Amino acid sequence: MENNMIQLPESLDGKTILVAGAAGFIPHTLSEFYLKLGASVIGVDNFITGSRSNLDKLYPYKKFEFFEANIYEDLPDFKNRSIDYIFSLASPASPIDFEKIPLEIMRVNSEGTLNLLNLAREKGARFLEASTSEVYGDPEIHPQTEDYFGHVNPIGPRSCYDEAKRYAEALTMSYHRKYGVDTRIIRIFNTYGPGMRPNDGRVIPNFINQALTGQDITVYGDGSQTRSFCYVTDLVNAIHNVMFSDDPTPFNVGNPDEYTIKECAEEIITFLGSTSRIKYLPIGEDDPKRRRPSLGKLQSISNYKPQVSFREGIQKTAAYFRDLAQIQGRNDFKQPNL
């Protein structure tokens, strides 16, 4: 191992981790990861987009505790608690949310992040802000490196999320500089996996559910826009590496495997043995044309490497959606080729 490589803890027994947004698909996977490492995990969520069923995986752990609360209005009282690490993961993140709940998104990333940063300051906890590749907007450089300042429309339909996350990054750096709070920032690129809402609106849950039910696959635009998809357990591994680094500046986290959206639709049809056909629909305003993370910065300090292939990730996610449909008593899913 080189000298600048980070050392990851083997156990977090005795440590307490607060996960804001614990019922979301990334945060609940992260919570389970830390419970398995021996930490006590306090989850907080108001279920605006999180799923109660995601918490069912966490309740069996004795060291898991949950508070239903809105972090920008009524952060629970943690006066007599020690907290060592805080993960700020509470924001809705799907483009359909941008349309429906833009003000909630802006408030959770501004006032909510502020409350969590104040808590980190009070407790002497390390704080991680989960930012997004959306801070790069419709990027003019490819792949995106962390030193790129972005190309964001400040008044477009995505701006409630993009600008709120840019503000959250600025707030985090200001708490670091002004008060010496121990902070980290990640920029999450497109991630998918079990625990997503079936009606989440993002491309992978849409395409999988369409493929499983034989419906048309809805490609927006001509499908030439690209995304790079990361399976959720790989993402959690990347987040863990950043949290235990000693660098407060932003790190891209994700998987650099890049697909056009048309290729993505074709692959999902093939992987799931679906009879669905592609249907082309109009594309939304400011939809980024190309997106792929440069992971050079993260890989210069850690051994991070995505482990789960697109095929495997899609099959695991499809199995999750199929189970969910059965639990919910729906019989509209054809037998997929898993």
Buried b (16+ CB within 10 A) or exposed e, 294-305: bbebbeebbebe
Regarding 274 and contact with ligand UDP (CB under 6 A), the answer is no
Question: Which 8-state DSSP code applies to residue 8?
Answer: P
Closest CA to 133 of 237, 23, 255: 255
Regarding 202 and contact with ligand UDP (CB under 6 A), the answer is yes
Q: Could you tell me the smallest distance in angstroms from the CB atom of residue 217 to ligand UDP?
A: 8
How many contiguous H segments (helices) and E segments (strands) does the chain have? 11, 13
Q: How far is CA 232 from CA 151, 193, 255, in A?
A: 27, 5, 10
Q: Could you tell me the smallest distance in angstroms from the CB atom of residue 131 to ligand UDP?
A: 13
Q: Could you tell me the smallest distance in angstroms from the CB atom of residue 259 to ligand UDP?
A: 10
**How many C-beta atoms lie closer than 10 Å to residue 329's C-beta?**
6
Contacts with ligand UDP by CB under 6 A: the residue count is 13
Q: Which is nearer to ligand UDP, 43 or 205 (CB)?
A: 205
Regarding 239 and contact with ligand UDP (CB under 6 A), the answer is no
Regarding 91 and contact with ligand UDP (CB under 6 A), the answer is no
Residue 59 falls in the annotated catalytic set: no
Site string for ligand UDP, 4-43 (x = CB under 6 A): ----------------------------------------
CA dihedral 56, 61, 65, 70 (to 10 degrees): -30
Residue 177: burial class (beta carbons within 10 Å; 0-12, 13-18, 19+): exposed
Which residue among 84, 258, 267, 287 contacts ligand UDP (CB under 6 A)?
A: 287
Which residue among 165, 227, 240, 290 contacts ligand UDP (CB under 6 A)?
A: 227
Quick check: 327 and 194 in contact, CB under 8 A?
Answer: no
Regarding 219 and contact with ligand UDP (CB under 6 A), the answer is yes
For residue 178 the two structure tokens come to 């002004």
Which residues does 91 contact at the CB level (< 8 Å), separation at least 6? 21, 105, 108, 109, 112, 130, 161, 164, 165
The active-site residue out of 34, 72, 161, 259 is 161
Angle, CA of 52, 125 and 61, to the nearest 5°: 35
Regarding 290 and contact with ligand UDP (CB under 6 A), the answer is no
Q: Which is nearer to ligand UDP, 51 or 225 (CB)?
A: 225
Residue 56: burial class (beta carbons within 10 Å; 0-12, 13-18, 19+): exposed
Binding segment for ligand UDP (CB under 6 A), chosen from 21-29, 54-62, 82-90, 201-209, is: 201-209
Regarding 218 and contact with ligand UDP (CB under 6 A), the answer is yes
Q: Could you tell me the smallest distance in angstroms from the CB atom of residue 203 to ligand UDP?
A: 4
Q: Could you tell me the smallest distance in angstroms from the CB atom of residue 198 to ligand UDP?
A: 12
Which residue among 95, 139, 143, 293 contacts ligand UDP (CB under 6 A)?
A: 95
Q: Which is nearer to ligand UDP, 26 or 58 (CB)?
A: 26
Q: How far is CA 19 from CA 9, 16, 67, 96, 201, in A?
A: 18, 10, 10, 24, 24
Regarding 206 and contact with ligand UDP (CB under 6 A), the answer is yes
Sign of CA dihedral 6, 12, 14, 16: positive
Binding segment for ligand UDP (CB under 6 A), chosen from 57-65, 76-84, 166-174, 200-208, is: 200-208
Scanning 72-200, the segments in alpha helix (DSSP H) are: 95-100, 102-107, 113-123, 159-179
Which residue among 33, 61, 67, 220 contacts ligand UDP (CB under 6 A)?
A: 220
Q: Which is nearer to ligand UDP, 50 or 95 (CB)?
A: 95
Which residue among 55, 203, 269, 318 contacts ligand UDP (CB under 6 A)?
A: 203
Q: Which residue ranges make up the site for ligand UDP (CB under 6 A)?
A: 95, 190, 202-203, 206, 218-220, 225, 227, 261, 283, 287
Catalytic positions, written as ranges: 161
